[in-house]
Amino acid sequence: MVFVQKSSENLWIYTKILEKLLVDQLEREQDLLLPSPRERYQRVLKRNPQLFQQIPHRHIAVYLGMTEETFSRLKKNIDANQDLAPPFC
C-alpha cells in the first residue's frame, strides 16, 4: 500500500488495475454462467478470437468448463456453419 500512498498518480494506476481485474472477473463469471457449452464458446470467440490461435484448445476447453472432445465438436460444427454462411455485402 505504500505505492498507493506515494502519489495520486500511483493511486490512479492502482485503481485502473483493480477496475480491469474486476471487469475480467465479471466476464469470466458470465462465461461460466451461460447454460450451454455452445454459448460459452461463442461468447469467448466473439470477445477474443485471437485466443483460438494463440492458446492450445485443451486450455480453452478447461477455461470454458468442457471436455476437449466437446470443444472439438463445437469448433468443428461452428466452423462448418460459418463456411456455409453467405458473405456479407
Q: Using one digit for the tens of pLDDT, what is the confidence trace for 21-43?
A: 999 899 888 877 867 888 888 88
Confidence of residue 83 (pLDDT cuts 50, 70, 90): low
The domain spans of the chain are 8-80
Q: Is 72 exposed, middle or buried (0-12, 13-18, 19+ CB in 10 A)?
A: middle
CA distance 32 to 63: 9
Confidence of residue 56 (pLDDT cuts 50, 70, 90): very high
